[in-house]
Structure 1
Amino acid sequence: METNETKNLNRLKELTALYFKTLKPVNNNQDDYVIQIKVANYFELGCIITDLLKLCILALDHDMTNIDKKKNQAINVSLILETVLQFFPLDEMEFLGYVGEVFE
């Protein structure tokens, strides 16, 4: 008969395999991970990068006067938030809920 600790450990291993999906190891190296974001094309990726840079400049300088005036300089905050939402480890948060149940 399995001990309670062995059952808990096996359950944690199962849950880890099911829910830890946000970070993926690089070349099976446990010290380096990658996270993927979904973009429609290179243009959307460029928009994300430039909006992030503009947002950082605005945060540092509190104005956008030294940015090139020729192009639309509005920061697409919605696009930035959608990208950040992709980083949020929702599966891992669900896992933590199950871990709490196992050890209650």
Structure 2
Amino acid sequence: MEVNETKSLERLKQLTALYFKTLKPAKDNSKEYTAQIKVVNYLELGCIITDLLKLCILALDHDPPNSENKSSAINVSLILETVLSIFPSDEMEFLGFVKEINTEN
């Protein structure tokens, strides 16, 4: 049984190295991690931040933004693209492999 456990542990370490990519360890060696959002420039970052804030305000107030005012419109596509970019899909695939390892033993 110990040989199988050792093989499983080694396989788990290999899979972890391959799939855990979304969170990067903090440079100060703390127990914190960083998730990065890729943006083209400061303008896109600003749009993401303001749209997130507008979305939160809309959720709290339940009032739709003034459709006549273009600057108050929420770019839902940009928000969804941002969320998709930080979704840990590699890690989800890894969890599938972990499930397989656990069912093998």
Could you say which structure has the higher helix fraction? 2
Number of equivalences: 101
Q: What is the CA-CA distance between 1:29 and the residue it aligns to? A: 2.4
Task: Provide the C-alpha distance between the structure 1 equivalents of 2:3 and 2:92, rounded to a whole number of angstroms.
Answer: 27
After superposition, the C-alpha distances for 1:22-51 in whole angstroms (9 at most, x for unaligned) are: 000102625111001111111010000000
1:86 maps onto 2:89 in alignment:
no
Letter in 1 for 2:45: L
Q: What is the CA-CA distance between 1:70 and the residue it aligns to? A: 6.4
Structure 2 counterpart of 1:36? 36
Q: Tell me which stretches of 4 or more aligned residues in structure 1 moved more than 4 Å.
A: none
Task: Provide the C-alpha distance between the structure 2 equivalents of 1:40 and 1:27, rounded to a whole number of angstroms.
Answer: 24
TM, length-normalised to structure 2: 0.86
Structure 2 counterpart of 1:46? 46
TM, length-normalised to structure 1: 0.87
Letter in 2 for 1:91: D
Aligned residue for 1:54, secondary structure, equals helix
Kindly report which structure 2 residues correspond to 1:85-104, keeping only aligned pairs within 5 A, or say none: 85-104=84-103
Structure 2 counterpart of 1:56? 56
Task: Provide the C-alpha distance between the structure 1 equivalents of 2:52 and 2:8, rounded to a whole number of angstroms.
Answer: 43
Aligned residue for 1:37, secondary structure, equals coil
CA RMSD in angstroms comes to 2.0
